């Protein structure tokens, strides 16, 4: 057998030498042979590339189908089909072409009870921090819809309560903006909120609640020690200035006006300072807006302020009602 192989190799060698000799002695044949070889090799390589492209397309088509099957199963809250799709190789963290949402985000924004489906997805390594095309996570979207039970579940599964989306919003700031007070209350009660990450585009978190006119949320935030009630936004406006402006603008809407009046009362009760001057134009709230609510508050405060700035000797020398007279003349 070995001898036969050696003979075959010897014969092949002899044929190769003969072909090379032919190419060397007959240039035309050499050129034609070279062209033929190039054509054959090119066709062979092209065929391989086509096969690879077809194989790749088949894989992508299969992947899309599996992803679609998984998404439909999640939307239908069908855990059996979800398991089947995952067993078939569906990518649990594949993002939608249109909005970048994953199946976890889809499940987290349903108004029905999807808790078991969410848990199943997380057990199968769904990325709880994955961002969609708008930079939102499952948690921030759930908070935006006021889906309190889903928010609780995601936080229990270690979702980052302070993760910001592409606009700098967190679950808390989104819940405030969408006026979901119960969700806001729960997020604050976790004591895990980093208030250094709650300010977006130069607007304090309390300003967000005041501007939306959500009294219950304002009350919740006023109890947070880390929040500066007299902080100014990038336009030099305090929350008291904002509330007073909106109270004035709501004159034709009594219910809305009363709501902002109540907010102003709350702000003043918790220490909002009407004498703070805007770092933008140097005006106080009463120089900006003629708010009777704030004027009434100031009338009650001026006697006390006078007692602090007037010496005891001078105070005893003045009529008892002088402070009240000055208050009336001034305000």
pLDDT by residue (tens digit) across 244-253?
A: 999 999 989 9
User: Does residue 330 surpass a pLDDT of 60?
Assistant: no
- CB–CB of 298/326 below 8 Å? no
pLDDT of residue 171: 95
* Mean pLDDT across 9-38: 59
- Taking the C-alpha atoms of residue 152 and residue 125, their distance in angstroms, rounded to an integer, is 19
Domain total of the chain: 1
User: Does residue 319 surpass a pLDDT of 80?
Assistant: no
When pLDDT is cut at 50, 70 and 90, the band that residue 329 belongs to is very low
- The sign of the CA dihedral 61, 64, 65, 66 is positive
Residue 304 lies in a domain: yes
Residue 175 lies in a domain: no
- CB–CB of 207/242 below 8 Å? yes
Cα dihedral: 114, 118, 119, 123 (round 10)? 150
Phi, psi of 203 (to 5 degrees): -110, 115
- Which SS3 state, helix, strand or coil, does residue 13 take? helix
Residue 57 lies in a domain: no
Residue 12 lies in a domain: no
When pLDDT is cut at 50, 70 and 90, the band that residue 321 belongs to is low
Residue 314 lies in a domain: yes
Other CB atoms within 10 A of residue 36 CB:
10
pLDDT of residue 68: 86
Higher pLDDT, 59 or 186: 186
Pick the range with the lowest mean pLDDT from 33-37, 181-185, 303-307: 303-307
Domain extent, residue 317, equals 294-331
pLDDT > 70: percent of the chain: 73
Residue 102 lies in a domain: no
Phi, psi of 200 (to 5 degrees): -120, 125
Residue 282 lies in a domain: no
Residue 299 lies in a domain: yes
- Taking the C-alpha atoms of residue 137 and residue 117, their distance in angstroms, rounded to an integer, is 17
Angle between the N-to-C axes of helices 205-212 and 215-222, in degrees from 0 to 180, rounded to the nearest 10: 160
């Amino acid at each position: 057998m070995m001898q036969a192989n050696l003979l075959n190799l010897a014969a092949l060698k002899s044929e190769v030498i003969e072909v090379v000799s032919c190419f060397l002695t007959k240039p035309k044949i050499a050129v034609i042979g070279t062209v033929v070889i190039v054509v054959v090799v090119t066709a062979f390589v092209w065929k391989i590339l086509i096969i690879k492209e077809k194989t790749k397309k088949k894989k992508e088509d299969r992947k899309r189908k599996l992803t679609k099957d998984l998404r439909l199963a999640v939307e239908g809250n069908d855990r059996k089909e979800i398991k089947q799709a995952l067993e078939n190789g569906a990518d649990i963290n594949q993002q939608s072409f249109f909005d970048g949402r994953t199946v976890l985000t889809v499940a987290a924004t349903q108004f029905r009870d999807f808790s078991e489906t969410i848990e199943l997805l997380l057990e199968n390594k769904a990325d709880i921090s994955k961002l969609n095309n708008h930079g939102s996570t499952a948690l921030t979207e759930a908070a935006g819809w006021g889906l309190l039970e889903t928010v609780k579940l995601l936080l229990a599964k270690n979702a980052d309560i302070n993760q910001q989306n592409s606009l700098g919003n967190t679950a808390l700031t989104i819940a405030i903006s969408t006026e979901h007070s119960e969700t806001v209350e729960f997020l604050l009660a976790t004591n895990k909120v980093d208030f250094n990450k709650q300010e977006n585009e130069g607007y304090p978190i309390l300003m967000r609640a005041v501007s939306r006119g959500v009294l219950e949320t304002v009350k919740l935030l006023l109890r947070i020690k880390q929040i500066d009630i007299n902080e100014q936004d990038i336009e030099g406006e305090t929350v008291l200035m904002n509330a007073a402006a909106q109270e004035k603008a709501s004159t034709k809407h009594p219910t809305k006006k009363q709501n902002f009046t109540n907010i102003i009362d709350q702000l003043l009760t918790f220490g909002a300072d009407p004498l703070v001057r805007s770092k933008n134009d140097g005006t106080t709230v009463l120089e900006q807006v003629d708010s009777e609510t704030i004027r009434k508050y100031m009338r009650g405060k001026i006697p006390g302020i006078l007692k602090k700035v007037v010496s005891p000797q001078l105070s005893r020398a003045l009529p008892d009602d002088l402070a009240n007279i000055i208050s009336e003349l001034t305000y």
